[in-house]
Amino acid sequence: MIEDKDRKKTDLSSLGEFGLIDHLTNQFEIKQESTVKGVGDDAAVLDFKDKKTVVTTDFLIEGVHFDLSYMPLKHLGYKAVMVNLSDVYAMNALATQVTVSIAVSNRFPLEALEELYSGIELASKIYNVDVVGGDTTSSTRGLIISVTALGEVVEEKISYRSGANENDLLVVTGDLGAAYLGLQVLEREKQVFQVNPNNQPDLDQYTYLIERQLKPEARKDIPQLLADLDVKPTSMIDISDGLSSEIMHLCKASNVGCNLFEDKIPLDPQVINACEEFDIDSTTIALNGGEDYELLFTVSQEDFPKIKGNPNLTVIGHMTAKKEGMHLITRANQKITLKAQGWNSFNEE
Amino acid sequence: MIEDKDRKKTDLSSLGEFGLIDHLTNQFEIKQESTVKGVGDDAAVLDFKDKKTVVTTDFLIEGVHFDLSYMPLKHLGYKAVMVNLSDVYAMNALATQVTVSIAVSNRFPLEALEELYSGIELASKIYNVDVVGGDTTSSTRGLIISVTALGEVVEEKISYRSGANENDLLVVTGDLGAAYLGLQVLEREKQVFQVNPNNQPDLDQYTYLIERQLKPEARKDIPQLLADLDVKPTSMIDISDGLSSEIMHLCKASNVGCNLFEDKIPLDPQVINACEEFDIDSTTIALNGGEDYELLFTVSQEDFPKIKGNPNLTVIGHMTAKKEGMHLITRANQKITLKAQGWNSFNEE
**What values do phi and psi take at B345, rounded to 5?**
-65, -20
Give the pLDDT of residue B7: 65
pLDDT of residue A28: 83
Tell me if B12-157 shares its fold with B161-343: no
The mean pLDDT of B32-49, rounded to a whole number, is 92
Chain B CA closest to residue A20: B346
CA distance A69 to A66: 9
Residue B25: per-residue pLDDT = 80
- For residue B221, pLDDT beyond 80: yes
Pick A42's closest partner by Cβ from B45, B56, B62: B56
Q: How far is CA B15 from CA A40, A343, B12, B109, B127, in A?
A: 40, 13, 6, 11, 30
What are the extents of the domains in chain A? 12-157, 161-342
The pLDDT score that the predictor gives to residue B88 is 97
Give the best residue of B34, B42, B341 to mutate against chain A (max A CB count within 10 A). B42
Q: Are A12 and A109 in contact (CB under 8 A)?
A: yes
Looking at residue A346, its pLDDT comes to: 62
pLDDT by residue (tens digit) across B63-102? 999 999 889 999 999 999 999 999 999 999 999 999 999 9
Residue B337, judged by CB atoms within 10 A of its CB (0-12, 13-18, 19+), counts as exposed
- Tell me which CATH code domain A161-342 carries: 3.90.650.10
pLDDT at position A349, please? 34
Interchain CB contact of A20 with B (< 8 Å): yes
Q: What pLDDT shows up at residue B247? A: 97
Q: Residue A241, class by beta-carbon neighbours within 10 Å (0-12 exposed, 13-18 middle, 19+ buried)?
A: buried
The reported pLDDT for the residue numbered A348 is 42
Q: Is B135 on the interface with A (CB under 8 A)?
A: yes
B306 touches chain A (CB under 8 A): no
Q: Percent of chain B having pLDDT more than 70?
A: 95
Of A52, A56, A133, the CB nearest to B36: A52
Q: Is A2 exposed, middle or buried, given 0-12, 13-18 or 19+ CB atoms closer than 10 A?
A: exposed
Helices (H), B106-171: 110-126
Asked whether A217 and A318 are in contact (CB, 8 A), the reply is no
Res B24: pLDDT: 84
Report in angstroms the alpha-carbon separations of A277 from A242, A266, A282: 21, 19, 11
So what's the ipTM on this one?
0.90
Put simply, whether B148 touches A (Cβ < 8 Å) is yes
Question: Regarding the domain delimited by B12-157, which CATH topology (the fold level of the hierarchy) does it fall under?
Answer: 60s Ribosomal Protein L30; Chain: A; (3.30.1330)
3-state secondary structure (DSSP) of residue B149: strand
Residue A103: list chain B partners with CB under 8 A.
59, 61, 64, 144
Chain A residue at shortest CA distance from B89: A42
Asked if residue B82 lies in contact with residue B218, where contact means CB atoms within 8 angstroms, the answer is yes
Per residue in B143-153, pLDDT (tens digit) is 999 999 999 99
User: Is 3.60.20.30 the CATH classification of the domain at B161-343?
Assistant: no
| Tally of CB atoms within 10 A around A342 | 22
Contact A345 B137 (CB under 8 A): yes
Mean pLDDT of chain B: 92
What value does the mean pLDDT take over residues B119-136? 94
Q: pLDDT tens, position by position, for chain A (349 residues)?
A: 445 555 678 888 777 666 777 788 877 889 999 999 988 899 999 999 999 999 999 999 999 999 998 899 999 999 999 999 999 999 999 999 999 999 998 889 889 999 999 999 999 999 999 999 988 888 988 999 999 999 999 999 999 999 999 999 999 999 999 999 999 999 998 888 888 888 777 888 999 999 999 999 999 999 999 999 999 999 999 999 899 999 999 999 999 999 999 999 999 999 999 999 999 999 999 999 999 999 999 999 999 999 999 999 999 999 999 999 999 999 999 999 998 775 566 654 3
pLDDT at A339: 85
Which pLDDT band holds residue B18 (cuts at 50, 70, 90)? low
Q: What 3-state DSSP class applies to B32?
A: coil
